[in-house]
Amino acid sequence: MGSLVETAIERSINAVINRDYGAAQEVLAAEARINSIELEIDALAIELLALHQPMASNLRFIIAALKINTDLERMGDLAANIAHSARALGETPAMEPIVDIPLLAGLAQSMVRKSLDAFVAADVDLALSVLASDDAVDSLRTACYHQLVTFMRKDSQNINSGLNLLAVTRTIERLADHSTNIAEDVLFFVKGVDVRHQLGAPSLLIT
């Protein structure tokens, strides 16, 4: 499922940057498969809980898998949203500034890959490196926002494509947020600590 979602994200970004209509179509065609795998994984996880009553790190692994499954399905939806924006952008002449979108997308894609690799390898340091990238994504996205608002203010003819590009940057940021969720679930599964919201010391759930 992770690999399907990674491919969908990569294609959707290429569809925007290279105005590749075919890539956008492929992303939309792959969505149903991602959705059906989500249901399979949920059913398997619940079956494992019901039949084997796992304890400690096995239980945490299954809870993490359930949560990561939800995140991955949403990420598939978000890739489809980017593909829709790419198609809308393809209908107007290519005069809009792509600005820092390739940079922002590259960073988010790296976070997605690292968070999935961290889950597969139970790699705490890799998961922590994903959390550390979050601020860079926010700054890049803010920079894109200001560049695109300036572009829209210049000529009202730019408003439609400006809105589509803003939607793309916002969606890329949400992809990065989901990879942060995955990294937090990896830390919970491997270390048994909940690092979300960082309320002082991490709470110890299961020791």
**Binding interface with a copy of itself (CB under 8 A):** 32, 35-36, 38-39, 42-43, 46-47, 49-50, 53, 55-56, 59-60, 63, 66-67, 70, 149, 152-154, 156, 159-160, 163, 166, 194, 196-197, 199, 203, 205-206
**Residue 194 gets which letter from DSSP?**
E
Q: Which is nearer to a copy of itself, 23 or 75 (CB)?
A: 75
Q: Which is nearer to a copy of itself, 59 or 122 (CB)?
A: 59
Residue 83 C-beta: closest distance to a copy of itself, Å: 18
Q: Which is nearer to a copy of itself, 49 or 136 (CB)?
A: 49
Helices first, then strands: H and E counts in the chain: 7, 2
Cα gap 140→150, rounded to integer Å: 16
Residue found by looking up tokens 């949203």 in the block: 81
Tokens in use for 35?
A: 């959705």
Residue 95 C-beta: closest distance to a copy of itself, Å: 17
Residue 125 C-beta: closest distance to a copy of itself, Å: 23
> Any residues with CB less than 8 A from the CB of 76 and at least 6 apart, and which?
4, 5, 8, 30, 31, 34, 35
Residue 9 C-beta: closest distance to a copy of itself, Å: 19
Residue 163 C-beta: closest distance to a copy of itself, Å: 7
Q: Which is nearer to a copy of itself, 14 or 158 (CB)?
A: 158
Is the CB of residue 100 less than 8 Å from the CB of residue 140? yes
Cα gap 99→105, rounded to integer Å: 11
> Any residues with CB less than 8 A from the CB of 25 and at least 6 apart, and which?
83
**179: nearest Cα among 72, 63, 105, 62:** 72
Residue 60 C-beta: closest distance to a copy of itself, Å: 8
Q: Which is nearer to a copy of itself, 10 or 42 (CB)?
A: 42
Cα gap 142→160, rounded to integer Å: 19
Q: Which is nearer to a copy of itself, 49 or 129 (CB)?
A: 49
